[in-house]
């Protein structure tokens, strides 16, 4: 890649969440703690669902995939920031930045697709219980996850390839803790209209389309739940979906806010803060949210710990 003056780009500078020296040890400790909790919590969740023969329902298959994506997501964003803080460096290579951007987009989109597929699973279980086995058979579940992977990889690959030809100006500072697509595009010193169109169109079609599917599923779930005569049955149905709704709300409010909100403002600090929520906080909370009110997961974890003793 070449600058406007003909020199080649070899690196960018990641400014992180704060440039205050006294805050760096706090940020380092905070991100190390959250990363370890995320990896440990999601790994335990996956091991519990794999080791317990009672957890073979599609719901746990999707949750295990979501936990794997959460581990990958945090492993893509946090380590470089921690290394830079520890070494008092802000440098990331051009190739490393584009690679990080690609995988961040892949795992973010994959998380959205999995949340949508999980809403479909709840819809089948609550609205069509008699046909649930046919609606969410193992082959269809595996196919849905595979299609989610393919679409996520293809979209992130397309947008990454569109970034490669962009010329960059002398200002190569990224006011962020990782290489995010919209921040990279802002640094380009050429016309980025096509990049912006593709980025926002993908956010609206993929993110908005998935959100529409989730809202539609839950509108049907609410209608079916209201028809349940017993209060206990209604409570069980709503409590089953509460954790999923909490994760969807947290993820969408932050991730879509970063990309769609950047169309109206270039406030990098608020964008970086929102990105922390969906790249680090949400993956950390997911296993706890889904385990907190799930007796099957709690029993599986107890069995797993007894096996390890």
Q: pLDDT tens digits, residue range 99-123? A: 999 999 999 999 999 999 999 998 8
Q: How far is CA 71 from CA 46, 64, 302, in A?
A: 11, 11, 22
**Percent over 70 (pLDDT), the chain:** 89
Query: pLDDT grade, residue 270 (50/70/90)?
Result: low
Cα distance between residue 232 and residue 141, in whole Å:
29
pTM for this prediction: 0.89
Query: pLDDT grade, residue 190 (50/70/90)?
Result: confident
∠ CA 78-183-66, rounded to 5°: 45
Q: Which of residues 95 and 257 earns the better pLDDT score?
A: 95
Q: Which of residues 172 and 170 earns the better pLDDT score?
A: 172
**Percent over 90 (pLDDT), the chain:** 46
The string of DSSP letters for 134-179 reads HHT-HHHHHHHHHHHHHHHHHHHHHHHHHHTT--B-S--EESSSS-
| Least confident stretch, 7-21, 175-189, 198-212 | 7-21
Going by the DSSP 8-state scheme, the letter that residue 192 receives in this structure is: -
Cα distance between residue 99 and residue 272, in whole Å:
19
Class of residue 127 by CB neighbours under 10 A (exposed 0-12, middle 13-18, buried 19+): middle
Most confident of the ranges 15-24, 32-41, 132-141, 232-241: 32-41
> Own/partner pairs for 275-279, CB < 8 Å, 24+ apart?
275/176, 275/177, 275/178, 275/180, 276/17, 276/177, 277/250, 278/108, 278/250, 278/251, 278/254, 279/73, 279/74, 279/77, 279/78, 279/104, 279/108, 279/178
Q: What is the sign, positive or negative, of the torsion defined by CA atoms of 268, 274, 278, 283?
A: positive
- Is residue 197 a contact partner of residue 119, using CB atoms and an 8 Å limit? no
Average pLDDT over residues 251-264: 63
Q: pLDDT tens digits, residue range 120-164? A: 998 888 888 888 888 888 899 999 999 999 999 999 999 999 999
Report how far Cα 159 is from the mean position of its chain's Cα atoms: 17
| Predicted confidence (pLDDT) at residue 279 exceeds the cutoff of 60 | yes
| Predicted confidence (pLDDT) at residue 307 exceeds the cutoff of 60 | yes
Q: Which residues contact 63 (CB under 8 A, 6 or more apart)?
A: 45, 49, 118, 290
**Selection from 98, 64, 66 nearest residue 80 by Cα:** 98
Q: Which of residues 260 and 207 earns the better pLDDT score?
A: 207
Cα distance between residue 87 and residue 286, in whole Å:
31
The superfamily (CATH) of domain 11-308 is: Rhodopsin 7-helix transmembrane proteins (1.20.1070.10)
Cα distance between residue 67 and residue 99, in whole Å:
22
The domain segmentation of the chain, as residue ranges, is: 11-308
User: Which two structure tokens, joined as six digits, stand for 169?
Assistant: 């100006």
Q: Tell me the average pLDDT of the chain.
A: 85
């Amino acid at each position: 890649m070449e600058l406007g003056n003909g020199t080649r780009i070899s690196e960018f500078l990641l400014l992180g969440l704060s440039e205050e020296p006294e805050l760096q040890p706090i940020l380092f400790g905070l991100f190390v703690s959250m990363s370890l909790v995320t990896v440990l919590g999601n790994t335990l969740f996956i091991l519990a669902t794999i080791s317990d023969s009672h957890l073979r329902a599609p719901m746990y298959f999707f949750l295990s995939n979501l936990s794997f994506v959460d581990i990958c997501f945090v492993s893509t964003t946090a380590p470089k920031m921690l290394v830079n803080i520890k070494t008092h460096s802000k440098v990331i290579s051009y190739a490393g930045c584009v690679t990080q951007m690609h995988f961040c987009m892949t795992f973010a989109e994959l998380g959205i697709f999995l949340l949508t597929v999980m809403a479909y699973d709840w819809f089948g279980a609550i609205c069509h219980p008699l046909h649930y086995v046919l609606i969410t058979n193992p082959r269809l579940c595996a196919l849905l996850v595979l299609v989610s992977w393919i679409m996520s990889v293809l979209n992130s690959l397309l947008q990454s390839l569109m970034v490669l030809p962009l010329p960059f100006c002398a200002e190569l500072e990224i006011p962020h803790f990782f290489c995010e697509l919209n921040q990279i595009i802002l640094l380009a010193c050429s016309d980025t209209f096509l990049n912006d169109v593709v980025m926002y169109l993908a956010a609206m079609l993929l993110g908005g389309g998935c959100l529409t599917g989730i809202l539609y599923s839950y509108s049907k779930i609410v209608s079916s739940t209201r028809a349940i005569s017993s209060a206990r049955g209604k409570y069980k149905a709503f409590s089953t979906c509460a954790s999923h709704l909490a994760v969807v709300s947290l993820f969408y409010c932050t991730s879509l806010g970063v990309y769609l909100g950047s169309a109206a403002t270039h406030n990098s600090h608020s964008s970086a803060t929102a990105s922390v929520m969906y790249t680090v906080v949400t993956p950390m909370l997911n296993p706890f949210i889904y385990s907190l009110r799930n007796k099957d997961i709690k029993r599986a974890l107890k069995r797993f710990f007894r096996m390890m003793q």
